[in-house]
Amino acid sequence: MREPLGELIGKIPRPTDPASRALGEMPYGLYILGSTGDGEANGMMADWVMQVSFSPRLIAVAIESDARTLANIRASQAFTLNLLPADEMALAAKFAQPYYGSKIKGRAGAAATEVHHKLEEASYRLGTTGCPILTNTLAWLECTVDAIVPVGDHSLVVGRVLDGAVLRDAEPLTTLVTGWPYSG
Ligand SMILES: Cc1cc2nc3c(=O)[nH]c(=O)nc-3n(C[C@H](O)[C@H](O)[C@H](O)COP(=O)(O)O)c2cc1C
């Protein structure tokens, strides 16, 4: 069931040292992180996500420092997490692009100034925090920010779960299904 995501994910640099390859064997869920900034909802592909506390219910997501999503979350102090079902790989692929085209190394000219309004191609509603919940998601969580901790080249965003629901009885989309690399 593995499919290439095309040009973009194929271009992600893949270190080949042994520790990097070991990290590449770690399985992850494939999520769309929802945020809103300057009145516009945005979705970001993310797999570095986990629950980190039962009481209170907290989850953590590691986000690149220059992601539009991180700026949105800092400003609004809220986000949503959409857990996709395994049969929505094409929907997931719509979120492979960054909001700012300039975020992709090597992009120049018009491609660098391009902005990707990724949610224009997806059906969603806004949750109580104003962040997007995808219609075709398997399950969703809505969170407020508990902490943002700088960790190396990412920031760890800890979210307090306000609400959530399971919308479908389906297998979740994971890196075991997609084969899309983001680790190493
Ligand atoms: C399979 C896959 C998983 C990813 N997981 C993460 C992640 O966990 N954290 C992260 O910061 N970026 C991750 N990315 C990269 C972001 O999707 C990318 O930085 C994107 O530019 C951020 O979107 P935004 O600019 O709209 O905020 C992943 C990319 C792919 C292809």
Among protein residues, the one whose CA lies closest to atom 17 of ligand 1? 45
| 180 close to ligand 1 (CB < 6 Angstrom) | yes
CA distance linking residue 30 with residue 25, whole number of Å: 15
| 88 close to ligand 1 (CB < 6 Angstrom) | no
From 50, 64, 72, the mutation candidate for ligand 1 (largest count of ligand atoms within 8 A of CB) is: 64
| 48 close to ligand 1 (CB < 6 Angstrom) | yes
CA distance linking residue 181 with residue 5, whole number of Å: 10
Burial label, 121 (beta-carbon count in 10 A; 0-12, 13-18, 19+): exposed
Q: pLDDT tens per residue, the chain (184 residues)?
A: 344 455 566 566 677 899 999 999 999 999 999 999 999 999 999 999 999 999 999 999 999 999 999 999 999 999 999 999 999 999 999 998 888 888 876 677 777 778 889 999 899 999 999 999 999 999 999 999 999 999 999 999 999 999 999 999 999 999 999 999 899 9
Which has the closest alpha carbon to 83: 74, 92, 93? 92
Which has the closest alpha carbon to 6: 69, 97, 109, 129? 97
Which one is the CATH code of 28-170: 2.30.110.10, 1.10.1750.10, 2.30.30.40, 2.40.50.100?
2.30.110.10
Where on the phi/psi map is residue 82: left (φ > 0), alpha (ψ -120 to 50), or beta?
A: beta
Among protein residues, the one whose CA lies closest to atom 4 of ligand 1? 46
What does pTM read for this prediction? 0.91
